[in-house]
Amino acid sequence: MTQIEIELQQLKDEVRKMWELVSSQMVKSRQALLGFDKDLAREIVSKEKRVNGSELKIDTDCENLFALHSPVAIDLRFVLAVLKINSNLERIGDIAEGIAKHIIYAEHNFKPELLNETKLLEMYQVSIDMLNDSLISFETEDTFLARTIFTKDDILDDINAKANDNLKRYLKTYPDDIDHALYALSIIRKLERVGDQAKNISEEIIFYLEAKVLKHSRKKKIE
């Protein structure tokens, strides 16, 4: 292996570690929500510093690769993609932290009726799946899998679009649960953004592997 290949592999390993950390933050935030586990929520907030540390480390590694190795062609696209994926992952980390803070501030647990009516758990599952699929497609260089993520994002968009109506219905039955309904609405918006970030990540994977720019393109999905 040449020195640049070694350093690119090390960068890929760093990104994978950050991806796993962010994914674990998301999974834990769902657990904390379901079990109303404030200790777990605090752990998420505390681990957010590690996500930020990873982001800075990857930024520096990319900067060094540009300065010292002048990557070109697929290597250049890889480092450019990693820079953007890094930023997307860090934002997902922020979202997990934001959800954890809602759990910390909430006075009591989230009613199962609220979670069902808003399809919040379904959203969680889809967004975590999107994050995990994007990691697999990055590691295995599978652009077909990366493209499936665009379709999954439609599920999140659909639930998000219906969130107001779903919450109105819920509040008619539970008019005193306004605080938790607002937390739920905020979490739905956040999960929808996780979907957007995962979609951006998939675009970067396809850019790196196929040199195709899908950003702002409508022809992303598998026909």
Partner 1 sequence: MESSIIRSENFNAFFGKNHVVKNVNIQIPKNNVVAVMGPSGCGKTTFLRCINRMHELIPGATSEGKMLLNNEDVYEMHPIFTRLKIGMVFQRPNPFPNLSIFENVIAGYSLNGIKLPKKEKERIVEESLTKSALWKEVKDSLHKKGTFLSGGQQQRLCIARAIAMQPEVLLLDEPTSALDPISTSSIEELLFDLKKNFTLIIVTHNMQQAARVSDKTAFFYLGELVEYDETKIMFTNPKDDRTQNYITGRFS
User: Using the rule CB under 8 A, is 64 a contact of partner 1?
Assistant: no
In the complex, what is the shortest distance from the CB of residue 77 to partner 1, in angstroms, rounded to a whole number? 7
What residues numbered 186-215 form the site for partner 1, per CB under 8 A?
A: 211
| Distance, CA of 58 to CA of 67 (rounded, Å) | 14
Binding segment (CB under 8 A) for partner 1, from list 30-38, 66-74, 106-114, 138-146: 66-74
The SS3 assignment for 219 reads: coil
How distant, in Å, are the alpha carbons of 75, 125, 129, 184 from that of 24? 28, 13, 12, 21
Are the CB atoms for 218 and 145 separated by under 8 Å? no
Are the CB atoms for 93 and 51 separated by under 8 Å? yes
Return the number of the residue (75 or 129) whose C-beta is nearest partner 1.
75
Return the number of the residue (4 or 45) whose C-beta is nearest partner 1.
4
| Distance, CA of 178 to CA of 167 (rounded, Å) | 9
User: Using the rule CB under 8 A, is 2 a contact of partner 1?
Assistant: yes
Count of residues touching partner 1 (by CB under 8 A)? 12
Return the number of the residue (74 or 136) whose C-beta is nearest partner 1.
74
Residue 72 one-letter amino acid:
V
User: Using the rule CB under 8 A, is 6 a contact of partner 1?
Assistant: no
How distant, in Å, are the alpha carbons of 58, 64, 99, 102, 181 from that of 67? 14, 5, 38, 42, 50
Locus of tokens 């994050």: 131
Are the CB atoms for 32 and 94 separated by under 8 Å? no
Return the number of the residue (66 or 174) whose C-beta is nearest partner 1.
66
Binding segment (CB under 8 A) for partner 1, from list 33-41, 50-58, 64-72, 131-139: 64-72
What residues numbered 69-88 form the site for partner 1, per CB under 8 A?
A: 70-77
Return the number of the residue (65 or 131) whose C-beta is nearest partner 1.
65
Helix (H) or strand (E) holding 37: none
Return the number of the residue (50 or 77) whose C-beta is nearest partner 1.
77
Q: Can you give the binding site for partner 1, defined by CB under 8 A? A: 2, 4-5, 70-77, 211
